[in-house]
């Protein structure tokens, strides 16, 4: 395993470490809720608020690590056909550029929502927790996702510029 960059370490902390803790926390909270309803006939107030906020953080913080492995669900008929050619790399650049633009727009909108949440003191319905810290976590996730796509765009672009067809063939075609 090669040396990791600072970005890779930060990405793993937020995308794997924190999301793992959040997932375990959600599991524990829901299990305790179910058991307390079953045995004690008692329900915890605010559990729905807590799980909703944690799920939002899970969704946004995990984007970058999924993109690092290119694990998102995609329709890849055309990219697979074009993979051995320079057009495949160019198509990848186009897809990444569109993703970066869309996520940059989302980053602006969520940042606006953060400032509005602070300004109007937006809170959850039952726990009355401020919403802005969780929105801040969403912003971190979007930002890491954009940075990951920018790095992949740079790699695809440099590969397209320095394209050599004999090195692009898959391992089965070289044998």
Q: Tell me what pLDDT residue 167 has.
A: 54
Give the SS3 label for residue 105: helix
DSSP result, 27-49: HHHHHHHHHIIIII----TTHHH
Write down the residue that tokens 């906020």 correspond to: 53
Q: Tell me what pLDDT residue 82 has.
A: 82
Q: Which tokens is 74 given?
A: 């995609």
Q: Tell me what pLDDT residue 122 has.
A: 94
Q: Tell me what pLDDT residue 174 has.
A: 41
Q: Tell me what pLDDT residue 100 has.
A: 97
Contact (CB, 8 A) for 156 and 93: yes
Distance CA 35, CA 23 (A): 18
Q: Tell me what pLDDT residue 118 has.
A: 96
| Intervals of the chain under pLDDT 70 | 1-2, 164-175
pTM of the model: 0.84
The DSSP bridge partners found for residue 130 are: 123
Domain segments of the chain: what residues? Answer: 6-169
């Amino acid at each position: 395993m090669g040396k990791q960059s600072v970005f890779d370490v930060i990405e793993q902390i937020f995308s794997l470490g924190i999301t793992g803790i959040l997932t375990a926390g959600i599991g524990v909270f829901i299990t305790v809720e179910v058991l307390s309803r079953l045995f004690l006939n008692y329900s915890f107030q605010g559990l729905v608020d807590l799980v909703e906020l944690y799920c939002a953080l899970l969704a946004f913080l995990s984007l970058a690590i999924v993109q690092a492995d290119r694990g998102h669900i995609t329709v890849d008929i055309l990219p697979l056909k074009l993979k051995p050619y320079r057009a495949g790399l160019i198509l990848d650049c186009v897809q990444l550029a569109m993703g970066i633009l869309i996520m940059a727009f989302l980053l602006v909108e969520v940042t606006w929502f953060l400032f509005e949440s602070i300004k109007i003191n937006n809170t959850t319905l039952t726990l009355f927790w401020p919403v802005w810290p969780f929105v801040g976590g969403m912003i971190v996730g979007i930002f890491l996702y954009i940075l990951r796509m920018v790095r992949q765009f740079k790699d695809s672009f440099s590969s397209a510029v320095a394209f050599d067809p004999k090195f692009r063939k898959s391992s089965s075609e070289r044998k």
